[in-house]
Structure 1
Amino acid sequence: MLALLNGIDLLATNSQNLIILDTAPTGHLLRFLEMPTALADWIGWIFKLWLKYQDAVGELL
Protein backbone atom coordinates (compact mmCIF):
# COMPACT_ATOMS: atom_id res chain seq x y z
CA MET A 1 0.00 0.00 0.00
CA LEU A 2 2.82 2.38 0.85
CA ALA A 3 4.50 1.69 -2.48
CA LEU A 4 1.27 2.54 -4.29
CA LEU A 5 0.88 5.80 -2.36
CA ASN A 6 4.51 6.71 -3.01
CA GLY A 7 4.06 6.06 -6.73
CA ILE A 8 0.94 8.23 -6.80
CA ASP A 9 2.81 11.03 -5.02
CA LEU A 10 5.65 10.85 -7.55
CA LEU A 11 3.19 11.03 -10.43
CA ALA A 12 1.26 13.91 -8.88
CA THR A 13 4.35 16.05 -8.26
CA ASN A 14 6.00 15.28 -11.61
CA SER A 15 9.27 14.94 -9.69
CA GLN A 16 10.36 11.94 -11.77
CA ASN A 17 10.46 11.50 -15.54
CA LEU A 18 10.39 7.71 -15.36
CA ILE A 19 9.08 5.37 -12.67
CA ILE A 20 10.08 1.71 -12.87
CA LEU A 21 8.19 -0.89 -10.87
CA ASP A 22 10.40 -3.88 -10.18
CA THR A 23 7.88 -6.35 -8.88
CA ALA A 24 7.69 -9.91 -7.71
CA PRO A 25 6.09 -12.56 -9.93
CA THR A 26 3.06 -11.71 -12.05
CA GLY A 27 0.46 -12.69 -9.44
CA HIS A 28 1.85 -10.19 -6.96
CA LEU A 29 1.96 -7.46 -9.59
CA LEU A 30 -1.68 -8.05 -10.49
CA ARG A 31 -2.70 -7.87 -6.82
CA PHE A 32 -0.68 -4.65 -6.47
CA LEU A 33 -2.43 -3.09 -9.46
CA GLU A 34 -5.84 -4.14 -8.10
CA MET A 35 -5.14 -2.53 -4.71
CA PRO A 36 -7.05 0.74 -5.32
CA THR A 37 -10.20 -1.21 -6.23
CA ALA A 38 -9.81 -3.55 -3.26
CA LEU A 39 -9.24 -0.62 -0.91
CA ALA A 40 -12.37 1.12 -2.18
CA ASP A 41 -14.35 -2.09 -1.61
CA TRP A 42 -12.99 -2.42 1.95
CA ILE A 43 -13.79 1.18 2.79
CA GLY A 44 -17.29 0.79 1.35
CA TRP A 45 -17.86 -2.34 3.41
CA ILE A 46 -16.62 -0.67 6.61
CA PHE A 47 -18.81 2.39 5.94
CA LYS A 48 -21.89 0.20 5.45
CA LEU A 49 -21.19 -1.55 8.75
CA TRP A 50 -20.71 1.79 10.48
CA LEU A 51 -24.03 3.08 9.11
CA LYS A 52 -25.81 -0.10 10.17
CA TYR A 53 -24.42 -0.08 13.72
CA GLN A 54 -23.76 3.63 14.32
CA ASP A 55 -26.41 3.86 17.05
CA ALA A 56 -24.90 0.95 18.99
CA VAL A 57 -21.36 2.22 18.59
CA GLY A 58 -22.40 5.74 19.55
CA GLU A 59 -23.74 4.48 22.87
CA LEU A 60 -20.42 2.77 23.66
CA LEU A 61 -18.41 5.92 23.05
Structure 2
Amino acid sequence: MGRHAYNKIVIKDKDDEVTIKTKVLGHDSYVNGVRSIIETCINHKLENRKYTVLDLIDEGIL
Protein backbone atom coordinates (compact mmCIF):
# COMPACT_ATOMS: atom_id res chain seq x y z
CA MET A 1 0.00 0.00 0.00
CA GLY A 2 2.96 2.36 0.18
CA ARG A 3 2.99 5.36 2.46
CA HIS A 4 -0.48 6.41 3.53
CA ALA A 5 -2.54 7.43 6.51
CA TYR A 6 -6.23 7.41 7.27
CA ASN A 7 -7.60 9.53 10.10
CA LYS A 8 -11.15 9.73 11.41
CA ILE A 9 -12.38 12.07 14.13
CA VAL A 10 -15.93 11.67 15.43
CA ILE A 11 -17.51 14.28 17.71
CA LYS A 12 -20.85 13.27 19.19
CA ASP A 13 -23.39 14.54 21.60
CA LYS A 14 -26.91 13.34 22.34
CA ASP A 15 -28.52 14.13 18.99
CA ASP A 16 -25.69 15.18 16.68
CA GLU A 17 -22.52 13.76 15.20
CA VAL A 18 -19.74 15.36 13.17
CA THR A 19 -17.23 13.15 11.37
CA ILE A 20 -13.99 14.42 9.87
CA LYS A 21 -12.03 12.03 7.66
CA THR A 22 -8.65 12.54 6.02
CA LYS A 23 -6.68 10.35 3.67
CA VAL A 24 -3.00 11.12 3.06
CA LEU A 25 -1.36 9.42 0.11
CA GLY A 26 2.41 9.58 -0.08
CA HIS A 27 4.80 11.37 2.22
CA ASP A 28 4.76 14.96 0.86
CA SER A 29 2.19 16.14 3.41
CA TYR A 30 4.35 14.90 6.27
CA VAL A 31 7.52 16.40 4.78
CA ASN A 32 5.80 19.78 4.34
CA GLY A 33 4.54 19.67 7.94
CA VAL A 34 7.95 18.86 9.38
CA ARG A 35 9.53 21.58 7.21
CA SER A 36 7.03 24.10 8.57
CA ILE A 37 7.77 23.08 12.18
CA ILE A 38 11.55 23.32 11.67
CA GLU A 39 11.26 26.72 9.97
CA THR A 40 9.09 27.95 12.84
CA CYS A 41 11.66 26.83 15.40
CA ILE A 42 14.50 28.48 13.47
CA ASN A 43 12.65 31.76 12.88
CA HIS A 44 11.30 32.31 16.41
CA LYS A 45 13.19 32.76 19.63
CA LEU A 46 11.87 29.93 21.77
CA GLU A 47 12.55 29.09 25.39
CA ASN A 48 14.87 26.15 26.01
CA ARG A 49 12.11 23.62 26.76
CA LYS A 50 10.05 20.95 25.06
CA TYR A 51 7.25 22.13 22.77
CA THR A 52 4.42 20.18 21.22
CA VAL A 53 2.93 21.15 17.88
CA LEU A 54 -0.16 22.30 19.79
CA ASP A 55 2.06 24.58 21.93
CA LEU A 56 3.35 26.27 18.76
CA ILE A 57 -0.18 26.63 17.41
CA ASP A 58 -1.51 28.00 20.73
CA GLU A 59 1.31 30.58 20.77
CA GLY A 60 0.27 31.66 17.29
CA ILE A 61 3.62 30.97 15.64
CA LEU A 62 2.68 27.89 13.63
Query: Structure 2-normalised TM-score?
Result: 0.36
Which has the greater radius of gyration?
1
**Larger proportion of helix:** 1
More strand by percentage: 2
- Per chain length, whose mean CA-contact separation is higher, i.e. which structure has more relative contact order (CA < 8 Å, sep 6+)? 1
Normalised to the residue count of structure 1, the TM-score between the two structures is 0.36
